[in-house]
Amino acid sequence: MNEIHIRPAGAGDMPAVHALVQELAEFERAPEEVETSPASYLADGFGEDPAFSCLVAEHAEAGIVGIALYYYLKTR
């Protein structure tokens, strides 16, 4: 099947999320600009007041093939 399912990312997805961020940075010829790690995504994206949210696009055979990271601006 070629179906792709969109779902909220879980803590266990952070290595794949980081890998796709790194892959994009390499494509953009700026791999040194990535200052995150799977551990930083866990620390910042999960917990009582997460700094961001993430969706993953998952293929049954290929695994996670896309991501959408997003955040909300906090009003003052």
- Higher pLDDT pick, 1 / 49: 49
User: Given a cut of 80, is residue 14 above it in pLDDT?
Assistant: yes
Q: What is the pTM of this model?
A: 0.88
pLDDT of residue 53: 97
- What structural domains and CATH numbers belong to the chain? 4-70 (3.40.630.30)
31's tokens: 């791999």
Which position has the token pair 């952070």?
14
For residue 1, name the pLDDT band (cuts at 50, 70, 90).
low
DSSP readout, 27-45? HTT-GGG----HHHHHHHH
What is the amino acid identity at position 76? R
